[in-house]
Amino acid sequence: MRLAAFTVLVPDYDPAIAFFCEGLGFRLTEDVPQGPKRWVTVAPPGENIRLVLARAEGPAQRAALATPAGGRVWLFLQTDDFIADAARITAAGGVFEEDPRHEPYGTVAVWRDPFGNRWDLIQPIS
């Protein structure tokens, strides 16, 4: 078994596709109409794991946009060039909540995507 995909709630498909693909350089792997919904997946460059971009439907899912994962960081994006990728995230509309920290495992900072998801950007010590 291997992890192939996981869902990220977003308010709407097209802004999420723009953020991840145009902003962060992910590739659009699927965009299939399914009546009022779409099956939309994106993947980071060079990776097989996909993010399923799911439009929040109904009050409970829309409320979850404000505090996905109960407000915890739950997504981890690894980089080989922290400074360049942090600038790319910011230019795309992501917001860093802190300055980069130097931890025993590498350089890290918490940031939020435009949809409320909290991420760590991590450059591991090589």
Class of domain 1-66: alpha beta
Fold of 68-126: 2,3-Dihydroxybiphenyl 1,2-Dioxygenase; domain 1 (3.10.180)
What's the pLDDT tens digit per position in 24-71? 999 999 999 999 999 999 999 999 999 999 999 999 999 998 788 888
Domain boundaries, the chain: 1-66, 68-126
What's the pLDDT tens digit per position in 94-107? 999 999 999 999 99
Torsion angle of the four alpha carbons 41, 46, 48, 53, in this order, in degrees rounded to the nearest 10: -20
Residue 46: which residues within 8 A CB-CB, separation 6 or more?
none
Do 1-66 and 68-126 have matching folds? yes
Q: What is the mean pLDDT of residues 75-102?
A: 98
In whole angstroms, how far apart are CA 104 and each of 37, 83, 107?
43, 18, 8
How many residues can be counted in the chain?
126
Percentage of the chain modeled with pLDDT above 90: 92
Question: What is the pTM for the complete model shown?
Answer: 0.94
